[in-house]
Structure 1
Amino acid sequence: MSKVFVENEINPLRRVLVHRPDVGISRISPKRAEELLFDDIVHLPRMQEEHDVFTNVLRQFVGDDNVIEVEQLLYEALEADPESKEEMIKLVIEHEELPKAYGDIMRGLSATALTNLLVTGYHAPDDHFFFDPIPNFIFTRDIAVTVNDHVIITKAAKEARYRENFITRFIIFAHPIFAELQAEGRVINLNKIDQFPPSKKGESVSIEGGDMMILNKDYLLIGCSERTTPYGIRALAECLFAKGVIDNVVQVNIPNDRSYMHIDTIFTQINTHDYVAFKPIIADGLGSNVQVFTASGEERKYHSLQEFLIKEIDANTRIIFAGKGESPYQDREQWTDGCNLVALKPGVALTYDRNPVTEEAFEEAGYRVVYAGDLLKAFSDGIIRPDEVQQTIITLPSTELSRARGGSHCMTCPIERA
């Protein structure tokens, strides 16, 4: 049986959760875009084509069965656990403030129809929209994070993403793939009010997966950002320390700004010693600082994330800067996810194809930059195998995907690495 285990950001990927852009995204209008957390409206067919290239690359490296669609997990969980299904329907009816009659309709739907409704908001038999779509569900990184042998169900900061939390909680509590985790108490649910109550100062718990990275089995990095609160970080750290999951929680304070909504918009790891980052914040410490909380109660502080990495993680740390660390290129290419990469294995990572100066930086650092379509053809023609690919940055088509403000790191939720 496959395990659920992730102890860093770069070990060979084994299983990953994704979500293909669905018809709900086609309902975003210019007037509703900001409310639904999109910066632009997108062309769904092209976006789906681009996402298919992305998942085709993933499948080449980890296998068809290990690139798992969360919508399929939702369907299977609805089939497997009628009791949890009822709780899920009640949560959605209450949150969306729907008439009770809608709940009766939902109870009468097949698992396939109910899955589609919960994800898109669309009830096909009546050609009626019950509620808003959840277009950000393509960013599966945000819904849950595996830290060593535990899974943390995150808590969204924005109401537009609350239904994603409901769905994730339901899947992890009802799907057989997570049954062992449940039985052994290895699930931490940030949405449990009794476990993580508001602080006496009125602070709330809010942590999204894009702000969480496990650097190694002893260090969990969490960005304190537009979407993740200081109290949420402290509350989670205390829980992780009490359970013995991790020894150090590293809080990286970054500007509360849409441009840097999560730490992975300005920083990701791609190799044993190599990271990609936005220089002004990660290296220069502009509007940023680092606090290290430890299980022993000791605390340490650093001026920048780069300083912390060199002193506590790896003296040989090398940071490749988006746009070569020069404006206006670094600002443009940070905005188009030049820092947001996911590693398939050490030294092989996925990024978008629209950051040319950052691509030059990769080449100068010794990486080969290859377009995803060309690599897939090389696999098909038998020219090279996935296991032979080394020291390579794979660029993905991104005309529409990049409009959603999230890169390959955002679109992957690893649940197993070697």
Structure 2
Amino acid sequence: MLNADNDFKIDVTTEIGNLRALLIHSPDSGLGKVVPSKAQDWLFEDIVHLDTMRRKEYDYYVKLLMYFLDPDKIKGKLDEINAPENKRNFFKPDNKAFHNSGKVIEIQTLLSDILEIADVRKKLCASVCAIENCTYRLQLQLVDIAPIELAKILISGSLDDDTMIFAPIPNLIFSRDLGIAINDHILLNKPAKKARSRETLLMRYIFFNHPLFANYRSKIIEISENKQHFLRPGEANEEKTTLEGGDVMMVSSQHLIIGCSERTSVSGANEAIKLLFEADVVSKVTVVKIPHKRDYMHIDTVFTQVKRDTWVLLRSLAIAEAATPGDEPMAWFADKKNKDKPEIVQFRKGKKPKTFDTLEDLLDNISRKDLESETPTRFIYSGNNEFPFDAREQWTDSCNLLAVKEGVVLGYDRNDKTVDAFKQNGFDVIHVTDLLPKLEAGQINPQALTNTLILMPSSELSRARGGFHCMSMPLRRDTI
């Protein structure tokens, strides 16, 4: 069982502090079973080549995270790890050679651990079989399977390579959508689509049952359906309470951003604000309502933070109209007719709400006021703000970057115009295939890097419509 390090704790106060621990999920065999006719039902735009995604793309992501977060597990061992007989084992939790880092933490490892607990195993198998409409005999069969293998089955949907017993959950690689660390609390999210029900259930069991989170169980916040929802005369045209992690950003110790998007409802934002304020987790929440289009999906496909004074964003969505007054998100956004521009309203505990006219106004305010930046706020635009490259590169996640430390971010290598924009703003650019050998040889100290965009291979990962911000659930960052 993965044991917590002595210094393990949940503590996230910004998007850019040095990353110390995170949850990820390496691509599993279920991704290789997505078929074109079901791709959109399972929230994928395309089918992917699993082996390329694993070995030539995601592997680089895990290796890079290890050099930054847990170098003792990889430094001096890269040649051994890359040997053909070991290459497939280092990142697979069901293999003995798995790195088992307590800082780059695999969801499948945590699931395997809690399945060692007989009572949890029985309850979880029953719960999964209930939502997947399995037979009782299959439920009994699953309970008797060894925990490591059972975890693999519950994630992939297959008893073996040939026998599928329920659908895969390919979106589990987007670990951020399922939970967000807010200071020392965990907000368990409520995804909008049925395709994500099983992964939501697995994460709930992990957070409430794994010893790693034993000291934080009283600080887990769950969002339930709005009470009025159950009494409405019909459901087809009524808004459900949903919230996904791609729409939640912890930008300072007391300030959270929540996006209302295709996947996060106003009701979801409303419930989150109520719970967070009641628990005194934060004192300020800004709601950013963006068009409900697949082009954007979450706010982190539109903007992410690079440094305290620097943001990357899609310029065409940077202009917003002021909203009309109200007491809570449900009132602010209930009757708005213009759905093509963002609306931005900030709710402060004990104070009147305030509005921002543009995304740039909001982000500038965060940099100057919340993070006390003394330099002018800079904006790096998707596609270098050139049509049609701005929209094309936003689609392939030019705005969805993960900061491993302030000013050092990971992004896809296919967004050439956005790379140009970073260079024009004084950033160094290096490809991960060039960086890893230098980290291994000690030619570069990862903690000494500044103002750097690290490019990652992306031909298959980009098909899944999510970048490295989506593929990470930070659990601990240094305070800046």
- TM-score for both structures, normalised by structure 1: 0.95
Q: Show the counterpart of 2:39.
A: 33
Matching residue's letter, 1:68: I
> C-alpha offsets along residues 266-291 of structure 1, whole Å, 9 cap, x if unaligned?
11001111110001113566611101
Among 10, 18, 24, the residue aligned to 2:16: 10
- Runs of 5+ unmatched residues, structure 2: 1-5, 74-100, 233-237, 322-339, 370-375
> C-alpha offsets along residues 206-260 of structure 1, whole Å, 9 cap, x if unaligned?
0001110011011100110000000110111011000000011111010101110
Contact 2:320 2:341 survives alignment (8 Å): no
Among 98, 113, 116, the residue aligned to 1:76: 113
**2:69 matches 1:62:** yes
Contact 2:286 2:345 survives alignment (8 Å): yes
CA-CA distance at 1:99 after TM superposition: 1.2
Q: Show the counterpart of 1:112.
A: 148
CA-CA distance at 1:136 after TM superposition: 0.6
Q: Distance in 1 between matches of 2:353 and 2:241?
A: 21
Q: Show the counterpart of 2:342.
A: 288
1:201-216 residue pairs with structure 2 within 5 A?
202-216=238-252
Contact 1:155 1:208 survives alignment (8 Å): yes
Among 161, 171, 181, the residue aligned to 2:196: 161
Contact 1:14 1:62 survives alignment (8 Å): yes
Matching residue's letter, 2:388: P
Among 178, 200, 206, the residue aligned to 1:143: 178
1:269-284 residue pairs with structure 2 within 5 A?
269-283=305-319
CA-CA distance at 1:308 after TM superposition: 1.9
Among 296, 300, 303, the residue aligned to 2:357: 303
Among 21, 28, 48, the residue aligned to 1:22: 28
1:7-406 residue pairs with structure 2 within 5 A?
7-49=13-55, 50-63=57-70, 64=73, 65=101, 66-79=103-116, 81-124=117-160, 127-182=162-217, 185-190=218-223, 192-193=224-225, 196-199=226-229, 202-283=238-319, 287-311=341-365, 313-314=367-368, 316-406=376-466
> Which region of structure 1 is more displaced relative to structure 2, 149-158 or 89-98?
89-98
Q: Distance in 2 between matches of 1:307 and 1:260?
A: 20
CA gap of 1:371–1:312, structure 2 versus 1, over 3 A, is closer
Q: Distance in 2 between matches of 1:92 and 1:73?
A: 17
Matching residue's letter, 2:348: T
- TM-score for both structures, normalised by structure 2: 0.83
For the residue of structure 2 that corresponds to 1:384, the secondary structure is: coil
**2:468 matches 1:408:** yes
Contact 2:32 2:48 survives alignment (8 Å): yes
CA gap of 1:293–1:211, structure 2 versus 1, over 3 A, is same
For the residue of structure 1 that corresponds to 2:37, the secondary structure is: coil
For the residue of structure 2 that corresponds to 1:259, the secondary structure is: coil
Contact 2:319 2:342 survives alignment (8 Å): no
Q: Distance in 2 between matches of 1:168 and 1:198?
A: 26
CA-CA distance at 1:392 after TM superposition: 0.4
Matching residue's letter, 2:227: P
Contact 1:226 1:256 survives alignment (8 Å): yes
CA-CA distance at 1:180 after TM superposition: 0.3
CA-CA distance at 1:198 after TM superposition: 4.8
For the residue of structure 1 that corresponds to 2:344, the secondary structure is: strand
> C-alpha offsets along residues 129-186 of structure 1, whole Å, 9 cap, x if unaligned?
110000011111111100011001111100111111001001001101110001xx10
> C-alpha offsets along residues 96-126 of structure 1, whole Å, 9 cap, x if unaligned?
111111110111111012101110000129x
CA gap of 1:189–1:29, structure 2 versus 1, over 3 A, is same
Contact 1:198 1:204 survives alignment (8 Å): no
Q: Distance in 1 between matches of 2:358 and 2:122?
A: 47
CA-CA distance at 1:380 after TM superposition: 1.7
Q: Distance in 1 between matches of 2:450 and 2:363?
A: 24
RMSD: 1.5
Matching residue's letter, 2:266: P
Q: Distance in 1 between matches of 2:23 and 2:422?
A: 27
Matching residue's letter, 2:268: G
Contact 1:197 1:204 survives alignment (8 Å): no
CA-CA distance at 1:296 after TM superposition: 1.0
For the residue of structure 2 that corresponds to 1:255, the secondary structure is: coil
Q: Distance in 2 between matches of 1:198 and 1:22?
A: 39
Contact 1:215 1:221 survives alignment (8 Å): yes
Q: Distance in 2 between matches of 1:24 and 1:133?
A: 5
Structure 1 consecutive aligned stretches of length 4 or more whose deviation exceeds 4 Å: 198-202, 283-286
CA-CA distance at 1:372 after TM superposition: 0.6
Question: Which structure: larger Rg?
Answer: 2
Matching residue's letter, 2:39: A
Report percent identity of matched pairs.
Answer: 37
